[in-house]
């Protein structure tokens, strides 16, 4: 039923909206709501208008002409649309959303809200759970629409009504640009019996450019599991999605744990370290390291990976030495090394009545915590070295290290041994991405933490473009409002602010994302500086032939002579159907309802001339594109190899001016998948 609901939502006709403006006041939290879903502020009058209580205007005629007007509470403008207070009031804290009636939406504080009568034609998106009083309503009128809320959406814009972006979308607000560069973690346990081609298409439409697949399920060869993973990788590559091996050392695999009890990590109370879902192995044991390295090479060789992600390689637990039952490492190798260096067994620090027990917070424990952080760093370097040896034989591979943040929550170094400042210089020499994971201790904090995390990492890296951020989309253990898991407006603000602060945003994890959020996820990750529609340049005779080209998602298409001017940071997909000119030139990178443009300011117009060959999708960052006769050129930058989907097989391919034997896979219906090299290149695709 959830998939059906999403399909129905995607089928809603839209008229589009390029930008917004505010009439009267500062707009409250509405700018945050709109910008988080990819709608930028207009330089002048916008197509979406946030109307303050005292703003004067002919709002009915504006709506009839095509504007979407946003109203709050009681106002002259609301009354003009038939929204009036009844004189009744309702204690309001629990909200029932029409699109997610099963979801508990609870406000942090109850308020006594006025009850309003709304027009019969209005669709009620949300109401007070017990009285049924309408809280969010909207309807289409003429060429435009109206959205009204009974009270403010809150300081951040999602504290009361998480699904305001979805309501706006259903009323016609379709963001003009989207990212295609999100990462998502993927666990096959949650997708064991699904149509992988369907999901790959859905992921790509949601802006996902790479899946990081839980590799521990595929550590040992198994015919059925291996066949599944190969189908997954093939389905992703067809959609220009990279696939990374997500490695969770010291966890290796269930079978490895079962087969090697002698190599299991120990906690400070001497138990095997089976903590949460991870079964930790002793990476200080020489025989264990050799066996794991051999298994890692086998894993890398059996599958067509695009990259390897060494994730969360440090120690338990988030409670630090305060919870001896979870504290690691206490294997015999680590204890012996520590004892040789410091003259006492670290296990003595945790033994009741022991000579060192009462010195936990003193010099002895300080030595153990420093040793632990140093050991974590050594482990990270050792396994990065192993990945580099693998990459030497597979130069197309990208490398990623996922590491919990210890700059925002500075306790992480003592709690788990994380030390980003020491590790970053190592990564900067290796062409690897540093993926920062915010710890569970801060999941209750707002989206503003991501720009602050980026600010704190600035002084300790020379390559901020290699920093990425991991957002955990999970049910949180803290008291959080209005929902336990991030969804709707909160999710979009998390992604939007993170994308503004980091070059790459990852989501944990793919199956925890709510289906209702997917249609706006790619737009939330977009970095749109400005967007405006206007008249096409004089003399563009191609406009005369245009009749049904979609305009920014508007089903009926643009009026003759329209154009879209958009400024974006980073390469983006701009909504457009049909042949296009970008900055006055025939544009070859288009298909699937979008035109792909590089970073910068661009003007998109309809074109009567089609390129000799179209690049329908590309997994890399597009830096340039051009058409010269029968040759299409694209400039790109790729952390891993580039997957390029074209609408016909090129007669030949050149990369940086030299002939290139590109692997080409037929996708059906004339489309082909090309493999191009990792790095920064210019590829020439010859149609003939």
Percent of the chain with pLDDT over 70: 92
Q: How confident is the model at residue 562 (pLDDT cuts 50, 70, 90)?
A: confident
pLDDT at 10: 28
Q: How far, in Å, are 558, 580, 586, 656 from residue 540 at the CA level? A: 15, 12, 12, 33
Average pLDDT over residues 482-487: 98
In a domain, 333, yes or no: no
Global pTM?
A: 0.93
Quick one: 507 and 545 in the same domain?
Answer: no
In a domain, 56, yes or no: yes
Q: How confident is the model at residue 558 (pLDDT cuts 50, 70, 90)?
A: very low
| Geometric angle at alpha carbon 165, from 163 and 170, rounded to 5° | 95
Quick one: 575 and 662 in the same domain?
Answer: yes
**Residue 194 pLDDT exceeds 60:** yes
Q: What is the DSSP string of 399-424?
A: EEEEEE--SSSTTHHHHH---HHHHH
First-to-last C-alpha distance (Å) of the chain? 48
Q: How confident is the model at residue 538 (pLDDT cuts 50, 70, 90)?
A: low
Q: Give the other-Cβ count within 10 Å of 601's Cβ.
A: 12
pLDDT at 391: 98
- Rounded CA-CA distance 566/89 in Å is 45
pLDDT at 102: 96
pLDDT at 561: 55
Domain boundary among 126, 153, 175: 175
Strand partners, 603: 565
- Rounded CA-CA distance 510/497 in Å is 20
Domain span holding position 220: 182-328+372-524
Percent of the chain with pLDDT over 90: 90
Quick one: 119 and 24 in the same domain?
Answer: yes
In a domain, 337, yes or no: no
3 state SS for 336-397: HHHHHHHCCCHHHHHCCCCCCHHHCCCHHHHHHHHHHHHHHHHHHHHHHHHHHHHHHHCCCC
Q: How confident is the model at residue 4 (pLDDT cuts 50, 70, 90)?
A: very low
In a domain, 365, yes or no: no
In a domain, 17, yes or no: yes
The number of distinct structural domains making up the chain is: 3
Domain boundary among 151, 175, 199: 175
pLDDT at 54: 84
Which helix H or strand E contains 498, and what residues bound it?
A: helix 489-501
**Residue 553 pLDDT exceeds 60:** no
Quick one: 149 and 244 in the same domain?
Answer: no
- Rounded CA-CA distance 647/632 in Å is 12
Quick one: 434 and 553 in the same domain?
Answer: no
pLDDT at 352: 75
Taking only the tens place, the pLDDT of each residue in 375-419 is: 999 999 999 999 999 999 999 999 999 999 999 999 999 999 999
Q: Quick one: which of 103, 105, 87 has its CA closest to 95? A: 105
Quick one: 413 and 445 in the same domain?
Answer: yes
Quick one: 116 and 265 in the same domain?
Answer: no
Quick one: 537 and 555 in the same domain?
Answer: yes
Q: For the domain that residue 149 is a member of, what is the CATH number? A: 3.40.50.880
Quick one: 26 and 11 in the same domain?
Answer: yes
Q: Quick one: which of 256, 326, 261 has its CA closest to 294? A: 256
Average pLDDT over residues 227-251: 98
**Residue 356 pLDDT exceeds 80:** no
More confident residue, 212 or 549: 212
pLDDT at 536: 64
pLDDT at 361: 55
Q: For the domain that residue 449 is a member of, what is the CATH number? A: 3.20.20.80
pLDDT at 537: 57
| Two structure tokens written together for 479 | 């008291």
**313 phi and psi angles, rounded to 5 deg:** -90, 85
**Residue 556 pLDDT exceeds 50:** no
pLDDT at 317: 83
pLDDT at 508: 97
- Rounded CA-CA distance 18/34 in Å is 11
**Locate tokens 């944990």: which residue?**
508
Close Cβ partners of 120 (under 8 Å, ≥ 6 residues apart) = none
pLDDT at 113: 96
Domain boundary among 157, 175, 193: 175
**Residue 329 pLDDT exceeds 70:** yes
Taking only the tens place, the pLDDT of each residue in 8-19 is: 222 222 336 789
Q: What is the mean pLDDT of the chain?
A: 92
* 445 secondary structure, DSSP code: S
Average pLDDT over residues 56-74: 95
Average pLDDT over residues 322-331: 96
Quick one: 535 and 587 in the same domain?
Answer: yes
| Burial label, 195 (beta-carbon count in 10 A; 0-12, 13-18, 19+) | exposed
Average pLDDT over residues 130-159: 97
């Amino acid at each position: 039923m959830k998939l059906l609901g999403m399909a129905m939502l995607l089928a809603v006709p839209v008229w589009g909206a390029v930008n917004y403006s505010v009439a009267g006041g500062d707009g409250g939290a509405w700018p945050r709501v709109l910008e988080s879903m990819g709608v930028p502020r207009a330089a002048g009058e916008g197509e979406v208008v946030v109307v303050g209580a005292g703003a004067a205007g002919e709002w009915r005629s504006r709506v009839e002409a095509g504007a979407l007007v946003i109203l709050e509470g009681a106002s002259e403008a609301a009354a003009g649309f038939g929204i009036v207070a009844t004189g009744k009031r309702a204690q309001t804290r629990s909200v029932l959303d029409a699109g997610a009636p099963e979801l508990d939406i609870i406000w942090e504080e109850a308020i006594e809200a006025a009850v309003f009568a709304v027009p019969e034609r209005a669709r009620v998106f949300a109401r007070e759970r017990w009285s049924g009083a309408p809280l969010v309503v909207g309807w289409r009128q003429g060429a435009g629409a109206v959205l009204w809320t009974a009270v403010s959406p809150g300081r951040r814009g999602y504290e009361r009504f998480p699904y305001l972006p979805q309501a706006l979308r259903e009323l016609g607000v379709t963001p003009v640009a989207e990212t295609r560069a999100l990462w998502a973690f993927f666990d096959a346990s949650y997708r064991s019996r699904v149509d992988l081609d369907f999901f790959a298409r859905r992921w790509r439409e949601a802006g996902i450019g790479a899946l990081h697949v839980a590799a521990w399920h595929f550590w040992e060869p198994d015919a059925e599991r291996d066949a599944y993973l190969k189908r997954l990788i093939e389905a992703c590559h067809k959609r220009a999605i990279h696939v990374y091996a997500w490695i969770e050392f010291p966890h290796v695999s269930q079978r490895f744990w079962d087969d090697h009890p002698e190599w299991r990590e120990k906690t400070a109370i001497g138990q095997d370290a089976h903590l949460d879902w991870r079964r930790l192995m002793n990476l200080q044991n020489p025989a264990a390291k050799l066996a794991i390295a051999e298994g890692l090479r086998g894993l890398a060789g059996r599958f067509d990976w695009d990259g390897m992600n060494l994730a969360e390689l440090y120690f338990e637990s988030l409670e630090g030495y305060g919870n001896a039952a979870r504290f690691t490492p206490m294997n015999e190798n680590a204890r012996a090394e520590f004892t040789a260096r410091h003259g006492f067994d670290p296990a003595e620090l945790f033994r009741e009545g022991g000579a060192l027990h009462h010195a936990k917070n003193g010099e002895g424990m300080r030595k153990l915590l420093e040793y632990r952080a140093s050991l974590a760093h050594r482990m990270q370097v050792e396994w990065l070295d192993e990945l580099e040896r693998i990459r030497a034989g597979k130069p197309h591979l990208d490398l990623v290290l996922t590491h919990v943040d210890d700059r925002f929550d500075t306790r992480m170094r003592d709690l788990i041994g994380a030390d980003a400042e020491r590790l970053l210089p190592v990564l900067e020499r290796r062409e690897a991405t540093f993926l920062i994971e915010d710890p569970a201790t801060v999941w209750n904090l707002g989206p503003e933490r991501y720009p602050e995390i980026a600010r704190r990492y600035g002084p300790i890296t020379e390559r901020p473009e290699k920093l990425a951020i991991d957002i955990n989309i999970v049910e949180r253990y803290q008291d959080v409002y209005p929902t336990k898991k991030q969804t709707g407006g909160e999710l979009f603000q998390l992604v939007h602010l993170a994308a503004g602060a980091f070059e790459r945003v990852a989501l944990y994890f793919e199956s925890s994302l709510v289906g209702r959020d997917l249609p706006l996820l790619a737009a939330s990750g977009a970095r749109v500086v400005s967007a405006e529609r206007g008249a096409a340049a004089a003399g563009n005779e191609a406009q005369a032939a245009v009749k049904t080209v979609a305009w920014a998602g508007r089903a009926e298409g643009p009026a003759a002579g329209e154009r879209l001017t958009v400024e974006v940071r980073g390469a983006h997909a701009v909504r457009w159907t049909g042949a296009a000119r970008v900055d006055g030139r025939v544009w070859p990178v288009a298909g699937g309802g979008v035109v792909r443009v590089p970073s910068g300011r661009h003007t998109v117009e309809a074109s009567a001339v089609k390129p000799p060959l179209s690049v329908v999708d590309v997994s890399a960052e597009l830096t340039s594109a051009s058409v010269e006769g029968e040759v299409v050129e694209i400039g790109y930058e790729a952390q891993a190899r580039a997957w390029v989907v074209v609408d016909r097989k090129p007669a030949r391919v050149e990369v940086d001016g030299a002939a290139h034997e590109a692997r080409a896979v037929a996708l059906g219906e004339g489309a082909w998948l090309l493999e191009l090299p990792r790095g920064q290149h210019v590829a020439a695709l010859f149609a003939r």
